[in-house]
Amino acid sequence: MEGSLAGKLLIASPAIEDSRFSRAVILVCTHNEEHAMGIVLNKASDEGPLSELLDQLGVDGDQAPDAHILVGGPVSRERGFVLHSEDYDSDGATLNVCDGVCLTATRDVLHAITSDAPPERFVLALGYSGWGAGQLEMELAENVWLVGEPDVALVFDPSFDTKWSRALARIGVSPDRLQVTGGRA
């Protein structure tokens, strides 16, 4: 799709009215005329460490990673989505999102994470952020989101509290300069 935002970052502006996305940084994984789907990169889940979730799911392996879990968005919170480096591919189930970042949502990637040869970098998100036809474009027109280029380091960095301000800085915007309302002429 021409004008697709797949592989881009959406950075929440103060104009966003949905508290679930306040100060959110989202990696857009797919975007076409019918829908858009992305993963929130900076909202830690209260699910506990990844190793506990893998134990609950019965995923055995040589290594039990002790990583945090993200809240990927409000849609399908019971489903897991793994953003990972390009060194893992699940035979047709892996989507290349942007240079250095892929998405896999099958159980196979969980087994790979606990294997002796896991993806070099990964993060698990529960749920995703989704938009219907034209919804994301409308939100962009309303200045709800700023758009930035992806940054692999930002995607996989566990410093969730600073991702929003760092994503803004990458596009040359200072958080203290953003306003919710416009001026009057």
Nearest to 61 by CA among 114, 110, 112: 114
In a domain? residue 109: yes
Burial grade of 141 (CB within 10 A; 0-12, 13-18, 19 or more): exposed
In a domain? residue 107: yes
Confidence of residue 63 (pLDDT cuts 50, 70, 90): low
In a domain? residue 75: yes
**19, 33, 101, 127, 169 from 64: Cα distances, Å:** 33, 40, 22, 22, 35
The CATH number given to whatever domain includes residue 100 is 3.40.1740.10
Q: Which domain holds residue 106?
A: 9-177
Per residue in 68-121, pLDDT (tens digit) is 799 999 999 989 999 999 999 988 899 999 999 999 999 899 989 888 888 999
- CA-to-CA distance for 185 and 67, rounded, in angstroms? 50
pLDDT given at position 180: 57
* Domain count along the chain: 1
In a domain? residue 83: yes
Residue pointed to by tokens 């306003």: 179
Tokens of 151: 């940054």
Per residue in 111-150, pLDDT (tens digit) is 898 888 889 999 999 999 999 999 999 999 999 999 999 9
- Whether residue 104 contacts residue 95, with contact meaning beta carbons closer than 8 Å, is answered with yes
Q: List the single range of 36-45, 107-116, 163-172 with lowest mean pLDDT.
A: 107-116
In a domain? residue 182: no
